[in-house]
Structure 1
Amino acid sequence: MNKKLSIIIPAFNEENTVLLILNSIQNVTLIENVEKEIVLVDDCSTDNTLKLVNNFKSENPEFALEIICHKKNQGKGAAIHTGIAKANGDFIIIQDADLEYDPNEYNTLLKPILAGFSDAVYGSRFIGGNPHRVLFFFHTIGNKFLTFLSNLFTGINITDMETCYKLFKSEFIKPISLKEKRFGFEPEVTAKISKIKNIRIYEVGISYYGRTYDEGKKIGWKDGFHAIYCILRYNIFK
């Protein structure tokens, strides 16, 4: 049987981009005949996100798309937890519903796993020659500081802990008990995945088409402080 990649999409009020990202995923051909499964978790959107996704599913019945709805807004992390629990693939990757990350780069992340070298692959916005939109100086400094702090406690040497593109073998990510319901998912999962004995973590360079707050970016400075709390909590106060 062919291997399958489960693509988890947490979505909240993404009516402007959700169809674009679904079409982009639909057009991607994965290497080595890996199949695609999309698990989109609508986190109680108040715009037309859910309506658009349901219409897309009706118009593309051959497309492996499962839609799950939260009855109340719980946060990005909670949506990811739901998606991981429902995923049936051999591998799992997180995909935001905006256009900041390019699904055409799934194959870049898959290569180390399919070659038998890796169990988890992080897509780094800070290495490689891929295009990156120039945006917020303090966000970049904050991301690098959080990554440094995370590395200090996990003992691994990644360059972009806060990246959305994290690809895992399902056998490693599914058993992990995840708690963080908002943007604390990134430091929590990094802390917990790094503690798995003999796990092989790789990193590859990816593109980044960042958006501004006017374009719908949601993460803020309070989430940065919470990330510090999560790094300490899940590395020291286990």
Structure 2
Amino acid sequence: MKLLSIIIPAYNEERFIKKVIDSVIEVNIDSLGYKKEIIIVDDGSIDNTYNIISSYKDIILIRQKNLGKGAAVQKGLSIAKGEYFLIQDADLEYNPKDYIILLSKLNENPNAVIYGSRILGCIRSNGFKFLPGKHKMQSFGPWLANLVLSLWTFLLYGKWITDTLTAYKIYKTSIIKNLVIKTKGFETDHELTAKLIKMKIKIHEVPIQYFPRSKAEGKKIKLSDGFVAILTLLRFRVSN
């Protein structure tokens, strides 16, 4: 059995965190040859998130001041024991049942990185077949931002990734632990993508489910994060 570390960064997620933890615990990955290590990093929540997480046994809980998602992931990674690790957002936009398709692809490509693509999972047949798919509940802005970042990544790195903004990625732990990660926010995802491409690590995408939430429901990513992502991809194209 290989160990999969599941790192869950959480910030003010009292509405969703219990359902997320229950869903992660429930999904069975034994048949694929993996057991789970669940690491939750409370990123300075000021609501009831920490107390809810504390009620669970058999998970690793870390609490830090609010430093950002990237910093929370790095904190979790620093103690992760798994051969591979996966990042699970602490909301209900992503379904842990998709671990099955992600790990199945990983078993076929054990030295690659696996990205779960919402685009591939939401492609629709319509009159605009040249455009990538969009979930009917996803707002136009985030969908367009993802398309722009895919094009930008291709222009800078010559690699087409349908969903650079996906939260579902499985990495080989030893590869990421050997990197010097310089960012601390949402842009850490793009720093890792840039460095993996430059290292010629294979990135494979598989279709996943996606249930977008609104700002009123707690979505935290902002328009400014899109501009930061563009600059981050440019920054690590010319430096390490």
TM-score normalised per structure 2: 0.91
Q: CA deviation at 1:137?
A: 0.5
Q: Number of paired residues?
A: 229
Note if 1:153 corresponds to 2:146: no
Counterpart of 1:230? 232
How many angstroms apart in 1 are the aligned matches of 2:167 and 2:150?
A: 13
Counterpart of 1:143? 146
Q: CA deviation at 1:139?
A: 1.3
Q: CA offsets, 1:187-227, max 9 Å, x none?
A: 11100111224x22211011111100000000001111111
Counterpart of 1:101? 94
Is the Cα contact below 8 Å between 2:191 and 2:232 reproduced in 1? yes
SS at match of 1:208: coil
Is the Cα contact below 8 Å between 1:188 and 1:230 reproduced in 2? yes
SS at match of 2:41: strand
How many angstroms apart in 1 are the aligned matches of 2:211 and 2:135?
A: 6
SS at match of 1:163: coil
Q: CA deviation at 1:114?
A: 1.1
Amino acid at match of 1:43: D
Is the Cα contact below 8 Å between 2:12 and 2:46 reproduced in 1? yes
Q: Trace 1:117-132 onto structure 2 (pairs within 5 A).
A: 118-128=111-121, 132=135
How many angstroms apart in 2 are the aligned matches of 1:73 and 1:116?
A: 35
For structure 1, list consecutive stretches of 5 or more residues without a partner in the other structure. Answer: 58-62
Q: Trace 1:80-99 onto structure 2 (pairs within 5 A).
A: 80-99=73-92
Is the Cα contact below 8 Å between 2:32 and 2:104 reproduced in 1? no
How many angstroms apart in 1 are the aligned matches of 2:47 and 2:25?
A: 23
Q: CA deviation at 1:127?
A: 0.7
Q: Trace 1:166-185 onto structure 2 (pairs within 5 A).
A: 166-185=169-188
Note if 1:112 corresponds to 2:112: no
Note if 1:33 corresponds to 2:27: no
Is the Cα contact below 8 Å between 2:32 and 2:103 reproduced in 1? no
**Distance change in 2, residues 1:117/1:5 (3 Å):** closer
Counterpart of 2:53? 53
How many angstroms apart in 1 are the aligned matches of 2:235 and 2:140?
A: 27
Q: CA offsets, 1:55-97, max 9 Å, x none?
A: 123xxxxx3x110110x21011110111111111011111000
Ranges of 4+ aligned residues in structure 1 off by more than 4 Å: none
How many angstroms apart in 2 are the aligned matches of 1:147 and 1:112?
A: 22
TM-score normalised per structure 1: 0.91
How many angstroms apart in 1 are the aligned matches of 2:204 and 2:220?
A: 28
Identity of aligned residues (%): 41
SS at match of 2:119: coil
Q: CA deviation at 1:129?
A: 5.4
Counterpart of 1:60? none
Q: CA offsets, 1:8-42, max 9 Å, x none?
A: 10000000110100000111001323100111100
SS at match of 2:56: helix
Counterpart of 2:131? none
Counterpart of 2:130? none
Note if 1:69 corresponds to 2:72: no
Q: CA deviation at 1:140?
A: 0.5
**Distance change in 2, residues 1:117/1:185 (3 Å):** same
Note if 1:221 corresponds to 2:214: no
**Distance change in 2, residues 1:85/1:128 (3 Å):** same
Amino acid at match of 1:22: I
